[in-house]
Amino acid sequence: MKMSGGVEWALHCCVVLTAASEPVPAARLAQLHDVSPSYLAKQMQALSRAGLVQSVQGKTGGYVLTRGAEEITLLDVVQAVDGTSPAFVCTEIRQRGPLATPPESCTKPCGIARAMAAAEGAWRASLKATTIADLAGSVERDNGPGALAGVGSWLSEPGA
Amino acid sequence: MKMSGGVEWALHCCVVLTAASEPVPAARLAQLHDVSPSYLAKQMQALSRAGLVQSVQGKTGGYVLTRGAEEITLLDVVQAVDGTSPAFVCTEIRQRGPLATPPESCTKPCGIARAMAAAEGAWRASLKATTIADLAGSVERDNGPGALAGVGSWLSEPGA
DNA sequence: GACTCACTACTCGGATACCTTCTGTCCGAGTTACTAAGG
DNA sequence: CCTTAGTAACTCGGACAGAAGGTATCCGAGTAGTGAGTC
C-alpha cells in the first residue's frame, strides 16, 4: 500500500497558498519546492477539479484557494489527489467456491470488509480533524513566526 | 492508494485455518475460495515469513496457525502481506528549494508528516483492536453457528 | 489625451511515453507416507 | 510378523513473465496585459 507522492506536494502547496494574496502559477510553486513543474501541475489540476483551488488564466494567472484554510481538511486534499475509492476492496470471495454463501444471505458486508472499513473510517476521521490552517499554524510554531509571510513575499517577487 | 488484493485472501485464509485441526495445503485453500492457487501460495509464503502460520512439508503438509486466533490481529496479517512501510512517506521537500529550511532546524518531522502519521496510527490502532477470533465470531453470527465447523470438515475431506 | 484594436507572453488543461510495483505463473528442492521385499 | 530400504507423490519456496497504475513530460487552447495606431 503506497500513497501517491503527489499528496505531499499538494499539501505543501495548499499551506503555501495560505500566505499568497494573488494567484500563484504552478511553475512558481514547483520552483519553490524544487520539484518537477509538469508533474506538480498535474496535482494542481486535481485540486482544481475537486474545487479546492480555483485556476486563474492569463498572464497574471495561477491558483488561489477557494475557501479559508480552516475550511479545507487534509482529507479533502488527499482524496482530491489520491482518489476517493477505499484502499481495501471486498471482492466477495465468500460467494465463490464450493462452499459459497448464497447471495440472499449477503445483505451486509462480511466481517472482514466491516473491520477494514472501520479502520479506514478512523483514518479518514483523523485526516478530517486537521485543516490546512492547523498545518500553517504548525509551520509558524516550528520555523518561527513570520515564516509563512516570508514565503508569501517571495511568491510575489519576480522569478529569478 | 490501493491495498494489495492478496490481503483479503490472506484474511479469509486465516479465518478458515481457525476451523482446521490439521495442516491445510495452499492449493486446497485456493480451491475453497476459487482463486489462483499459485498466487495464493505467494500470500501464504508471506504469512509464513512473518511467523503467523507455520508451513509443514511433505505429503500431508500444509499451513497451520502458529498461535491462537485471538492472538493474531488484523494488523499482523495486513503488514505481513502488504508490508510494514507507511503509505505516506515524507521526502523532506521543506529542505529543498530557494527557501529551504536548514537541516539543523529539522529535528522533528514537519507538521504534514506528523498529521499523516497520526492518521495512519489511528488506522493501525483500529486494525490492531480486531483479531482473527473476532472475525471467526462474526462469521458464526452472520452465517449461523456451525458454519466454520462445516468448512473445517470440508477441508479434511479428500479433494474432488 | 483617450479610446480601440491587434499582438505577445503567459497561464491552465488534457493527451502522450516511461517506469516501478503488483499480479499471476512456473519449476525445482525437500519431506513424508506408502509399498514391497527381506529377515 | 516385524524391520528396512526404496519409491513415489505431494508439499513449500523462490525465480520468472505480463499487466496495471503511478510518474514524468510535452504541446495545444485560452486569457490577461501591453503597445501602437487612430480619433
Q: A14 with A47: CB under 8 angstroms?
A: yes
Min Cα–Cα distance to chain A from B11, Å: 7
Q: What is the pLDDT of residue B65?
A: 97
Q: Tell me how many residue pairs between chain A and chain B have CB atoms under 8 A apart.
A: 165
Q: What is the pLDDT of residue B157?
A: 80
Cβ–Cβ below 8 Å for B35 and A93: yes
Q: A127 with B115: CB under 8 angstroms?
A: yes
Q: B64 with B53: CB under 8 angstroms?
A: yes
Closest nucleotide C1' to the C-alpha of A61: C11
pTM score of the predicted model: 0.92
pLDDT digits (tens, 9 = 90+) for A78-106: 999 999 999 999 999 999 999 999 988 88
Chain A hits for B118, CB-CB cut-off 8 Å, are 126, 130
pLDDT digits (tens, 9 = 90+) for B111-160: 999 999 999 999 999 999 999 999 999 999 999 999 999 999 999 887 65
The position carrying cell 444471505 is A105
- Is B2 near strand D, with its CB below 7 A from some atom of it? yes
CB < 7 A to strand D: residues 34-73, chain A: 36, 38-39, 41-42, 56-61
The H or E element spanning position A63 is strand A62-65
Which positions on strand D lie below 7 Å from a protein C-beta?
A: 8-15, 21-27, 29-33
pLDDT > 70: percent of chain B? 98
Band (pLDDT 50/70/90 cuts) for residue A20 is: very high
pLDDT digits (tens, 9 = 90+) for B47-99: 999 999 999 999 999 999 999 999 999 999 999 999 999 999 999 999 999 99
Nearest Cβ partner for A34 among B1, B97, B122: B97
Q: What's the CA gap between A131 and A143, in Å, rounded?
A: 19
Q: Give the 3-state secondary structure of residue A82.
A: helix
Q: What's the CA gap between A64 and A53, in Å, rounded?
A: 5
Non-local (6+) Cβ contacts of B127 within 8 A are A115, A116, A119, B73, B74, B75, B78
The H or E element spanning position A65 is strand A62-65
